[in-house]
Amino acid sequence: MSVLTIERKVLEKNDIIAAANRKLLQSHNLYSINLVSSPGSGKTSLVERTIAACQNKIRIGVIEGDIQTDLDARRVDALGVAVVQIVTHGACHLEAALIGDSLKQLDLPHLELLIIENVGNLVCPSGYDLGENVKVVVVSTTEGDDKPLKYPAMFRNASALIINKIDLLPYLNSSVDDMEKNALSINPALRVFRTSCTSGEGIEEWCEWLQSQISKK
């Protein structure tokens, strides 16, 4: 039995549980996104901004994935939104079974949007279906415009791209146009947003898109 065989079995088992999660979420007419990025791209700030902008229009629940600490869940909890913290204790990505357990802690019939914030890792979470409707990859301008070329799997598997921290562009040698072009060369179907969670720029457009996706369901 080779390591590759084991890995395939782990992914197959994950896919079965992800399908069950998807069925459960669909039965509650609940739209879900899996937010993925490097550490420090601004996923939690984006979750905070999204809640602030949409809370009166959309009923939101959040699952926070972290290797250690419940710092992110506390930030979300402070905004009065239902949140479950998953601590992976070293594991580099969320798996469907962890999401399945977390869904039991949420009042699903009451929710319209579930935001899953994955562990900060631009590589490993790309291969793990959690049962979400779409993966949304966040990349910050400070990471450099070559990142889509260097970490293509995440951009290939996502439906939307958020280029965050555009407020810092005047101080960087990095081009947001090149970053977008590089991402679209990997996945031309990506819906791209440019945001700043500091200034709030672009958040409205992102929230309108979320609302349109929820209405479409």
E strand residue ranges, 27-107: 31-37, 60-66, 82-87
SS3 letters across 136-181 = EEEEEHHHCCCHHHHCHHHHHHCCEEEEECHHHHHHCCCCHHHHHH
Paired tokens of 132: 């979400």
C-alpha to C-alpha distance for 96 and 112, rounded to whole angstroms: 20
Residue among 62 and 111 whose Cβ is closer to a second copy:
62
Residue among 85 and 133 whose Cβ is closer to a second copy:
85
Closest Cα to residue 30, out of 93, 86, 109?
109
Name the minimum Å distance from CB 188 to a second copy: 18
Residue among 198 and 211 whose Cβ is closer to a second copy:
198
Neighbours of 210 (CB within 10 A): 23
Residue among 34 and 133 whose Cβ is closer to a second copy:
34
C-alpha to C-alpha distance for 102 and 130, rounded to whole angstroms: 11
Name the minimum Å distance from CB 107 to a second copy: 27
Name the minimum Å distance from CB 213 to a second copy: 27
Name the minimum Å distance from CB 103 to a second copy: 23
C-alpha to C-alpha distance for 102 and 97, rounded to whole angstroms: 9
Name the minimum Å distance from CB 84 to a second copy: 17
Name the minimum Å distance from CB 85 to a second copy: 12
In the complex, which residues of this chain contact a second copy (CB under 8 A)? 1, 3, 6, 10, 38-40, 66-69, 71, 90, 92, 119-124, 139-140, 142-144, 146-147, 149-153, 165, 167-168, 171, 173, 198
Burial 94-109 (b: 16+ CB within 10 A, else e): bbbbbbbebbeebebe
